[in-house]
Structure 1
Amino acid sequence: MAPLSTTDHSRTRSGRGAAWRPLALAFGAILSALGTLWVYHFFVRTTQGQSLDAEALSQASTMAGGRLDKATSAVLDALPTASLVAAAVVVGLVAIFGKRWFPALWAVVAAVAANLATQILKNSVFDRPDLGVDSPLGNSLPSGHTTIAASAAAAVTLAVAPRWRPLAAALGGTFAFISGASTVVNLWHRPADVVAALLVVGCVSALAAIPIAIQERHSTARTDDGAARVISHRGFWASLSGALAIILAIAVVVLPLLPAGSLSLTGSEGVDTRTFWSGVALIGATAYGISWLGILVLGRSRR
């Protein structure tokens, strides 16, 4: 038997090393689905959850006399069109010039499916019982605006080459975080609506990534030099996203324990905004947590 060449040996090792990825993605999809159901059950089906969401929304209305609201309203108004157009351009360029038609196709499927899933869940599956909690919004979980932003970012991450996914996932998580938090600041959505939307996108994207991971099992990772190696470094973006997710998760618990009025920040002096900022931290922890897992599973180390 002829010995394996260096390239063949690298591909064999790559295939063996990537065999766990489809299983990890399936497990991640299950966790995201269970997370979505938990968020719905606690924040919509219980009085405590509805009260926390309503309090966060009420505190958001006190922020800075509307200055922060005005600063984010333009982003929200342009979000659906801008997100979809930008994602379509990037995915199209990757498919044409990068010859990545298969990943691009599944990226589009993931984006469409995530937005359909959100609308079906919100309008046909999830109902909002009247538990006596006063809130200006009706049944708004999951957030459609957040789904658009997060699914656009996920589509780009799935379509690009593995070596660029760490950068795409980290930037995409940041974009989804800012977009989702902006809907709360503008009183369009409760924090739980945004978290549920992120989990829906995470679930659908993980399922769509399974065929991509299977196709890429026996491909070799390209070695980059110079700036490309630095800006797409898997370890750096994974560490950064993971650290942000942990810090924000801790903030979710710690912020409500601080003295009342200590987190007014852009609100009026003495106004309590602890629950609002805790909700924003939960959104960030979810966004960066999903990004971190995506980098670990779909990104690749250099050889």
Structure 2
Amino acid sequence: MPHGSSYPVSRSSPRPARALPSGGAAVAPGLRLLAAAVCFLFALGLTGLLFVWTDRGQLIDGLLLPRAERGGGYEQPGDLFGPATVVLRHFGRPSTLAALLGGVLVVGLLGRRLLAGLTGVGLVLCAVVTAGAVKSALPRPDFAIEGSTTHNSFPSGHVAVATALVLAYLLVLPGWARRWSVVPGAAAVSVIGAATMIAGWHRFSDVLGGVLLSAALFCLAAAALTLRRGGDAPRPGAMPVAGRAWRAFAEGAVGLIVLGWVVRVLLPGPAAGLPWGPLVAISAAAVLTALAVGVAVFLVASVEFTGPVDRPQREAAHPGSMERLLATDSRTAGR
């Protein structure tokens, strides 16, 4: 007598093996952006802790941007003082900021990224409010350092707005155009940061704090847009993370070399007239700004912000999803 059940048992066709995720898709873009936001916030807090709330940090800030011998301010002598004040005056005009924010919305609308454009405008406004709130709320201890004041200017609102504007355009630009914005975007932020230091408005730590603040806010905004899409899936055919990292490093190095060469050719005399402290502060701020903008471009290199992705499109983005769908339809039809 045969053992086992007499009921017929139908065997379903085996499912195709699911492909393992590649190195570029091992970590979802939204999670990478959230982790980067935490790192930028940690760097922001560490910068404030070291430069604002320690005597050594205040001393370094004072050595990089010493107080002027005449007048008691922090204006740096040289031929660049006049152009710096002109740059800050034009950049601080409400009409200039309105035009730049309008450009974010226009680019987002033309590229079907209106929500990303609105998020970019909110990013800039949030940078303005947050920088002002932090600057007003945080005290600056008095360590009796010669030439140092207790007036807190950390972080720089001008630099935070400039960085937020550059990063806002990353949300509305297509993926192929983002990496081309690293050099001009970093150069624009570096010019604003240098102008604030030359004009005596901000210290080196203030400039660095403004960049880090806007970079953290950008990562949070980009993560919110990415998670809202529901898929968190990179573009089909996107380069793996390791390849994108090496390419970003190479392009960033070339961009810094080109930027340094342009500054040396266009401003040889005025730059040579600066003391060593401001020159070191401006150079370090430019390099760190380019690094922050490059990291932001790298984090969103494989993400599009054109709108929410529906379920069939998300499934089609994964290997083997179409085969599983066809196998399911054939089993349903055979019943």
- Tell me which interval the TM-score lies in, with the shorter structure as reference length: 0.7 to 0.9
Distance 1:86 1:131 in 2: 43
Q: 1:295 aligns with which of 294, 297, 306?
A: 297
Tell me the equivalent position of 2:28: 20
Q: CA deviation at 1:297?
A: 1.3
* Distance in 1 separating the partners of 2:166 and 2:282: 19
Question: What is the CA–CA distance in structure 2 between the aligned matches of 1:142 and 1:204, rounded to whole Å?
Answer: 14
Contact 1:25 1:209 in 2 (8 A): yes
- 8 A contact 1:128–1:139 mirrored in 2: yes
Correspondence 1:142 to 2:152? no
Judging by fraction of residues, say which structure has more helix. Answer: 1
Q: Is the 8 A contact 2:105 2:118 kept in 1?
A: no
Q: CA RMSD in A?
A: 3.5
Q: Distance in 1 between matches of 2:66 and 2:298?
A: 37
Shift of 1:191: 0.6
Contact in 1 for aligned 2:234/2:302 (Cα 8 Å):
no
Q: Does structure 2 retain, via aligned residues, the 8 Å contact 1:167–1:237?
A: no
Q: Give yes or no for contact 1:80–1:148 (8 Å, CA) kept in 2.
A: no
Task: Kindly state the Cα deviation for residue 245 of structure 1 after the two structures are TM-superposed.
Answer: 7.0
Which residue does the alignment assign to 1:241? Answer: 252
Among 26, 29, 40, the alignment partner of 1:32 is 40
* Structure 2 equivalent of residue 168 of structure 1: 181
5+ residue gaps in structure 1? 2-8, 224-232, 249-263, 268-272
Distance 1:39 1:218 in 2: 34
TM-score norm. by structure 2 comes to: 0.68
Correspondence 1:206 to 2:211:
no
Q: Does 1:274 align with 2:272?
A: no
1-side partners of 2:27 and 2:37: how far apart?
A: 17
* Number of residue equivalences: 262
Stretches of structure 2 that go unaligned for 5 or more consecutive residues are: 1-12, 14-18, 69-73, 239-243, 260-270, 304-335
Cα deviation code 1:183-212 (max 9, x no counterpart): 001111111000001000010011001123
> Which secondary structure does the structure 2 equivalent of 1:183 belong to?
helix
Question: Matched residues in 2 for 1:164 and 1:190: separation?
Answer: 33
Taking the aligned partners of 2:176 and 2:213, their CA distance within structure 1 comes to 25
Contact 2:78 2:273 in 1 (8 A): no
Name the % identity: 22
- 1:230 aligned residue: none
Is the 2:34–2:219 Cα contact (8 Å) retained in structure 1? Answer: yes
**Contact 1:83-1:148 within 8 A present in 2 as well:** no
Structure 1 pair 62–37 and aligned structure 2 pair: CA distance change class (3 A): closer
Q: How does 1:99-118 map to 2 (within 5 A)?
A: 99-118=112-131
* Cα shift at 1:276: 2.4
Q: Is the 8 A contact 1:100 1:159 kept in 2?
A: yes
Counterpart check, 1:129 vs 2:141? yes
Deviations 1:118-154 (A, max 9, x none): 1111101x21011112236721000111112111111
Q: 1:77 to 1:62 in 2, by over 3 A?
A: closer
Relative to the length of structure 1, the TM-score reads 0.74
Aligned to 1:265: 272
Q: 1:91 aligns with which of 84, 94, 104?
A: 104
Does the Cα contact within 8 Å between 1:127 and 1:139 map onto a contact in 2? yes
Contact 2:161 2:214 in 1 (8 A): no
Q: How far did 1:176 drift?
A: 0.9
Q: Structure 1 pair 93/266, CA: closer, same or farther in 2 (3 Å)?
A: same
1:158 aligned onto 2:171 = yes
CA drift of 1:294 comes to 1.4
Structure whose alpha-carbon radius of gyration is higher? 2
SS of corresponding position for 1:45: coil
Rounded to whole Å, the distance in 1 between the matches of 2:185 and 2:52 is 27
